[in-house]
Amino acid sequence: MSGEITTMSAGALAEAIRTRVLSSQEVVEAHLARIDEVNPTVNAIVSYAPEAAIAAAKERDRELAAGTIRGPLHGVPIAVKDLMDVAGLPTSHGSRIHAGRVATQDSVISGRLRDAGVVFVGKTNTPEFGAGSHTFNEVFGATRNPYDLDRSAGGSSGGASAAVTSGMLPFADGSDLGGSIRNPASFGNLVGLRPTAGRVASARPGNAWDPGSVLGALTRNVRDTALFLSVVSGPERRAPLAIDEDPALFLSIAPRPFAGARIAYSPDLGGLPLDPQVRAATAAAARLASELGAEVVEVDLDLSEADAVFETFRSLEFLDGHGDDVREQPDLVKKTVRDDVSWAAGIDAAQLVHAASAKTRLFRRMQALFEEYDMLLAPTVQVLPFPLDWEFPTEIDGVAMERYYTWQRSCSRITATAMPALSMPAAFSAEGLPIGVQFVGPYRGDRLLLEFALTWESAVADVMSRRPVLTAAEALV
């Protein structure tokens, strides 16, 4: 039964616990057993706290027996990305500077999950300060892709992706600046939503007015993403961009038919280089959308200013968040983060003003696109999951990458527009590696994306059901 439990969706587990078909203790212990089985090699879960998790699960069962249900995720296990605080667990940020520092209170997202009744089993691995879309650091090491242990799980939510993909967690939170939910979703054959900024509020330090970095989810199905949003969305007085809409709107999603829809299709998001198998899979996805009844129109998107917008504001975020670390303890900060801070220090007022104006132009240009089309279809990631020992891809299809994150531009160009985006499974490569496609919707169109995704999920059910076969023996090879 333990193996069956770890294949169940978060929604199904919550229902089974609520109706006492399963106890929280049974559910948590099954996931802890799966963690013990495969995590020593996959390395997705860090700051592991099995004893505290079992104690919390027993408490959830006592509460349920007394007629108390904390919330819609009562007794369901989760681990939170190691950039967000969970009271009583370390928030190491993958950094030697912060390694082992125990949080004294919950972040907003962790507090909402706790209020919903979850059981925290630990944290999920992330690159140092979440920098880069390959999950490795000098505190916990690298996270491996469960589909090929010699490949990257992506990042920065790579630990979350690998844990959900391999059955260590039913679902997980993630954060996305330049693709940190969408890239690992593609690498892990998962649903990965980058919501509209403010949909999932945060009270983290830094520029609360910047819509770049957002919080979202990684799941094995669309309804679990909707369930997650129903729990963690909603206004927050410390978050000026927080969206004041009832989170329950995500509980009533229904499949939205592709028939009659108009879909803009961008095969390369403004001329980006792609791995040939990614290009072929994206074209096949466009054909499938057409077969499902949509009018699919290839469009020539003007994203010429997106790279400057993203890279300017990203650098400023790293200067704000980690400038002191670089100045005070440079030997404990990896070179790529030092580079980020250095690039930010070179930005002058004219560049900043231009980037701010360009961000507005991009937003309005995309909103105009969505007056004609329901959504945009594009590749999620430009490459297949790459070798674990690479720091990052240095070239794509013969084109050199200038910086450590420029291979992610298929995601970061969408970030620059401020539109919500959803990575959905689409295909597998000849080597058996997952390939996702990206659906982009209008501003605050998160529910619309999920409803179209329900239809897409049915159409690619064979792809989505292809989970990695990973046992303890295989993990140790």
Mean pLDDT of 27-42: 98
315 catalytic per annotation:
no
Query: What tens digit of pLDDT does each residue of 170-187 get?
Result: 999 999 999 999 999 999
On whether the CB atoms of residues 295 and 257 are closer than 8 A, the answer is: no
- Out of 23, 95, 107, 156, the active site residue is 156
In this structure, how many other beta carbons lie within 10 angstroms of the beta carbon of residue 64?
A: 20
Indicate if the pLDDT at residue 476 is higher than 90: no
180 catalytic per annotation:
yes
Q: How far apart are CA 318 and CA 156, in angstroms?
A: 14
pLDDT band at 124 (very low <50, low <70, confident <90, very high): very high
Indicate if the pLDDT at residue 432 is higher than 70: yes
On whether the CB atoms of residues 215 and 228 are closer than 8 A, the answer is: no
- Out of 24, 110, 152, 180, the active site residue is 180
Mean pLDDT of 430-453: 98
Query: What tens digit of pLDDT does each residue of 192-204 get?
Result: 999 999 999 999 9
Mean pLDDT of 215-224: 98
Q: How far apart are CA 265 and CA 379, in angstroms?
A: 10
Indicate if the pLDDT at residue 282 is higher than 70: yes
The residue type at 451:
E
pLDDT band at 403 (very low <50, low <70, confident <90, very high): very high
Our CA angle for 109, 154, 199, nearest 5°, is: 30
Mean pLDDT of 359-366: 98
pLDDT at 474: 57
**Tokens 């330090």 sit on residue:** 205
Instruction: Kindly calculate the radius of gyration of the chain based on its CA atoms and give it in whole angstroms.
Output: 21
166 catalytic per annotation:
no
Every domain of the chain and the residues it spans: 2-475
With residue 187 as reference, give the H or E element that holds it: helix 182-188
Q: Domain 2-475: which CATH class?
A: alpha beta
- Out of 23, 24, 81, 152, the active site residue is 81
Q: Distances from the Cα of 313 to the Cαs of 128, 202, 217, 370, in angstroms?
A: 19, 18, 23, 25
Query: What tens digit of pLDDT does each residue of 8-30 get?
Result: 999 999 999 999 999 999 999 99
User: Dihedral sign, CA of 236, 239, 243, 249?
Assistant: negative
Work out the mean pLDDT of the chain and round it to a whole number. 97
The residue type at 332:
L
Query: What tens digit of pLDDT does each residue of 312-321 get?
Result: 999 999 999 9
Sheet with 77-81, side-by-side order of all strands: 45-46, 119-124, 77-81
pLDDT at 477: 44
